[in-house]
Each structure stands twice: as C-alpha cells, then as structure tokens.
Amino acid sequence: MHVFNQYSLSGATSGITIAGVTSSSGSTANKLYGPKAVVLDQYDYVYILDTGNKRVQRWAPGATSGVTIISSTSWNNPTGMRLGPSGSLVLADTNNHRVISFPISCPTTTTTTTTTTQPLNYVCSASSWNSVFTVMIGTGTSGTSTTQLSYPMGVFIDANQNIYAADYFNNRIQKFVYGSAVGTTVAGATISGSAAN
C-alpha cells in the first residue's frame, strides 16, 4: 500500500492516511516505497522508515509531504526503528546484520532566524541533519556470537537505554547495555523451537 494510516483505539474499522499515496509508490516527498516502521515523537512529528527508498522521512502534523532527514545507499532492507537517546534514531539494518544510530538533532553551531519554542531539530534545514551513522551492534557479518546478529528484524530501547534486538535468524532476543556491543540472550536460543525457552 505504501502508506501509513492512523486508526482510533475506540474500535474504528477504517483509518486516516497520514503519509504516502494509496496504491502508488515513489520517491517524491509525498510518496513512500515499502515503508517498514514508524515512530512518533512528543511533538507529534512522524518518522517513517521508508525502506524501499533507503531513507527516513519526517512528517509534521497535518503535512501532505515529508522531509528526508536521513538517507544512505549502504542500508540493506532496514526493518525496525526506534527513537534513541540524545536525539537519535536507532535502526535495525537487517540484511547488513547490524543496528545503527543516526543523530537527528541540529548541530550546536546551526543558527536559525525563526523564533520558536520547539527544539532546533524541527527548524533545521534538511542539509543540517547528519546522515553519517554509527554502528552500535553487529559486525556486518551474520553470526551467532555475542557481538553478532543475523538478520535483526526489530529494535526496542527501554527506560535505562538498554537496546533489545530481535535477532531473527538466530531465534533469540539480544540485550545490549547502551554503549556496549556485547549482547546477552534474554529470550530464545540459536535453535528454533516451541519450548518455553
């Protein structure tokens, strides 16, 4: 569908399209191509992992098009995304077997003539965002060691900034203390199955 829809929790059976064009993929500012994840910040800005276009689009409330804040041709089928600490987005770069982080805050040297009470990253020009990523977890090679992932499909960050990676082909959930690349298995095992562990 190449869109994101908003649904009411009161039992609505139809949604409102908030980003993208129904049945029409593309790379223009108002279109998406195979989006895989979406996060919402405290100001109701929507961040969309536009996987097919290898970019993250930010949509302001009520906007009819998005702004590309991050893009990278080196991504390989990213499928998960979370807002991270210190003004960052954390992505599961699935087919590259890693978790990466991008800063989305304006550089402190950025100036703006706009008077605003919102954080600077909402009034930056697009060129001010930093698309240089940091590899937080993974070696780039599929594997089963405590420092490797195999096709991670999702990420979660808890209140203590620990990162959890859904390590798909290893059939496990790995927990990483923020800043550490060594994981601990908190659920599952490297062999698939239906047992309690």
6 vs 163, more confident: 163
User: Is the pLDDT at 120 greater than 50, yes or no?
Assistant: no
Residue 46 within any structural domain of the chain: no
181 lies in some domain:
yes
Amino acid 70: pLDDT: 85
The count of structural domains within the chain is 1
Measure the CA–CA gap between 114 and 123, rounded to whole angstroms. 7
* Per-residue model confidence (pLDDT) at position 112: 47
Taking the model in full, what pTM does it have? 0.76
Residue 93 domain-assigned (yes or no): yes
Provide mean pLDDT across the span 115-122.
Answer: 46
**88-93 vs 16-20, strand pairing mode:** unpaired
Task: For residue 30, name the pLDDT band (cuts at 50, 70, 90).
Answer: confident
- With H, G, I as helix, E, B as strand and everything else as coil, classify residue 126: helix
Q: Which domain holds residue 164?
A: 72-188
59 belongs to a structural domain: no
Mean pLDDT of 68-94: 88
E strand residue ranges, 12-133: 16-20, 37-40, 46-50, 55-59, 67-71, 80-84, 88-93, 98-103
Q: Is the pLDDT of residue 9 over 80?
A: no
* pLDDT in the model for residue 123: 45
CATH number of domain containing 96? 2.40.10.500
pLDDT greater at residue 12 or residue 96? 96
Instruction: Answer yes or no: is 170 within a domain.
Output: yes
Q: Does 24 map to a domain?
A: no
Per-residue pLDDT, 6: 58
Name 184's Cβ contacts closer than 8 Å, sequence gap at least 6: 146, 174, 175, 176
Banded model confidence at residue 144, pLDDT cuts 50, 70, 90: very high
Residue 120 CA to residue 124 CA, distance in Å, equals 6
Residue 108 lies in a domain: yes
Residue 166 lies in a domain: yes
Cα–Cα–Cα angle for 90, 166, 195, rounded to 5 degrees: 165
**Between 20 and 164, where is the model more confident?**
164
Whole-angstrom distance, CA of residue 106 vs CA of residue 88? 11
Rounded Cα distance between 63 and 150, Å, is 37
Q: How confident is the model at residue 153 (pLDDT cuts 50, 70, 90)?
A: very high
Helix (H, G, I), strand (E, B) or coil at 121: helix
Mean pLDDT of the 78-106 span = 87
